[in-house]
Amino acid sequence: MAVAVDVSRFENVSMAPPDPILGVSEAFKADTDATKLNLGVGAYRTEDLQPYVLKVVNKAEQLMLERGENKEYLPIEGLAAFNKATAELLLGADNPVIKNGQIATVQGLSGTGSLRLGAAFIARYFPGVKVLISSPTWGNHKNILSDVGVPWSEYRYFDPQTVGLDFKGMIEDIKGAPNGSVILLHGCAHNPTGIDPTPEQWEAIADELEEKGHMPFFDVAYQGFASGSLDDDASSVRKFASRGFEMFVAQSYSKNLGLYAERIGAINVILPTADLAARVKSQLKRLARPMYSNPPVHGARIVANVVGDSVLFDEWRAEMQMMAGRIKGVRQKLYEALLSKDKSGKDWSFILKQIGMFSFTGLTKSQSDNMTDKWHVYMTKDGRISLAGLNLAKCDYLADAIIDSYYNVK
């Protein structure tokens, strides 16, 4: 029997605004213009602008079918073969941290879930400690920290004058943070700017963190996908590990294996002893249990199968290099189109200096709105475009849209 109520208890629930990133795709789908272009969500597309399932993923899934693997629950910490593989990919199999058992690894729900688990750990065991995040950063970083009650502030990162790294400002803000703060760093292919510190700058950042007693928290979402090299893209994390830092590292396989919907990633904590690693892992599991109980198995088996088979592993590296190479080609073509069309002498070389799937154009919100309203180019309002959603054939069109928006819209 239905219960009649005069006023719903949910009347005070307001409509949430569209997600600033995922909402872009919803708007794109509703647009019927033939010239429309979706450069909002960071998902790889082929030259035909179609989603791409890696061939090596299909082969790994075929192996799972042939073995008749079941769908039983995983342990709270996830698939053991995956956890071993992901830690070794991050640090290198021969790394002393691995050999000495100084790392606590727990499978998480891709990068977001792994970051959330790390943030929950900070909230519980380091109450009141502030996390510094780059300005700008991936939008969900703020949501994750705020939702678990971890205080955060920003450090300078992007210099709008040079469309490059504000290294001086970054160091000043890290130096000015309370001793023992947590500094959230992007391991490679900074999102949204595509601007990474040089190896020398990474050393200086490590020096400053060490002097202030800060703890690094790396977000590694693009290992192998940024440069095409798993080792090069992990060099920042390995540098800090070699210097003996205690640190968190979140990983995701959405981009480098194209496992967007499988929600496969990990949270790692690097510690000075195996005993501490065991204790920290036990508490990460304790946090995960009421949050999602245990992680999904399908993506974890794909990663474990690919990394655990030398033939599949080599094929994966080749496919990563292909994807990274296509994005580099599009980046070069866009730069050349802008250079040929813009006769003002403006320096567009920042596009080539950025790395990974994104380019931070420097366009304002109103200019970004013009990109969408007039040119049907869908992008985030901070001026970020995903080059993974662009093809060579559309570079001239995009260059026209950028030039029009930059010069004709305040």
Contact 195, 351 (CB under 8 A): no
Rounded to an integer, what is the distance from CA 184 to the centroid of its chain? 12
pLDDT of residue 19: 83
Contact 144, 25 (CB under 8 A): no
Q: How far apart are CA 35 and CA 83, in angstroms?
A: 44
pLDDT tens digit string along 20-59?
888 888 899 999 999 999 999 889 999 999 999 999 999 9
pLDDT at 336 > cutoff 70: yes
Q: Which two tokens stand for residue 63?
A: 């192996």
Q: Is 152 noted as a catalytic residue in this protein?
A: no
Q: Determine the residue type at 259.
A: L
Q: Specify which residues 153 forms β-bridges with.
A: 132
Q: For tokens 């981009």, name the residue.
A: 255
pLDDT of residue 20: 81
Residue 45's closest CA among 329, 327, 337? 327
Q: Which domains does the chain have, with CATH numbers?
A: 21-53+313-408 (3.90.1150.10), 73-308 (3.40.640.10)
Specify the DSSP element, H or E, that contains 174. Answer: helix 167-176
Q: For tokens 């309002």, name the residue.
A: 381
Provide mean pLDDT across the span 312-332: 96
Identify each DSSP E strand in 152-242 by its residue range.
152-156, 158-159, 164-165, 182-186, 215-220
Q: Which two tokens stand for residue 179?
A: 């001793």
Q: Is 369 noted as a catalytic residue in this protein?
A: no
Residue 43's closest CA among 57, 34, 53, 31? 53
pLDDT at 1 > cutoff 90: no
Q: Determine the residue type at 310.
A: S
- Provide CB contacts within 8 A for 274, sequence distance 6+: 100, 101, 102
pLDDT tens digit string along 54-65?
999 999 999 999
- Cis peptide upstream of residue 18 (ω within 30 degrees of 0): no
Q: How far apart are CA 43 and CA 111, in angstroms?
A: 14
Q: How many CA atoms lie within 13 A of 344 on its CB side?
A: 9
Provide mean pLDDT across the span 85-109: 98
pLDDT of residue 74: 98
Report how far apart the first and last C-alpha atoms of the chain are (Å, whole number): 60
Provide mean pLDDT across the span 374-399: 96
pLDDT tens digit string along 150-167?
999 999 999 999 999 999
pLDDT tens digit string along 175-231?
999 999 999 999 999 999 999 999 999 999 999 999 999 999 999 999 999 999 999
pLDDT tens digit string along 340-375?
999 999 999 999 999 999 999 999 999 999 999 999
Q: Are strands 182-186 and 158-159 parallel, antiparallel or unpaired?
A: unpaired
pLDDT of residue 3: 66
pLDDT of residue 104: 98
- Strand, coil or helix: 2: coil
From residue 113, give the alpha-carbon distance in Å to each of 35, 120, 189, 303, 405.
Answer: 35, 10, 20, 17, 36
Q: Determine the residue type at 338.
A: L
pLDDT tens digit string along 232-283?
999 999 999 999 999 999 999 999 999 999 999 999 999 999 999 999 999 9
The torsion region of residue 163 among left (phi > 0), alpha (psi -120 to 50) and beta comes to left
Q: Which two tokens stand for residue 274?
A: 């195996």
- Provide CB contacts within 8 A for 365, sequence distance 6+: 381, 382
pLDDT of residue 41: 83
Contact 223, 187 (CB under 8 A): yes
Q: CB 335: neighbour CB atoms within 10 A? A: 19
Residue 303's closest CA among 294, 320, 316? 316
pLDDT of residue 75: 98
DSSP string, 219-257: EES-TTTSSS-HHHHTHHHHHHHHTT--EEEEEE-TTTS
Is the torsion defined by CA of 381, 383, 389, 394 positive or negative? positive
pLDDT of residue 2: 61
Of 166, 173, 196, 219, the active-site residue reads 219
Of 255, 281, 333, 394, the active-site residue reads 255
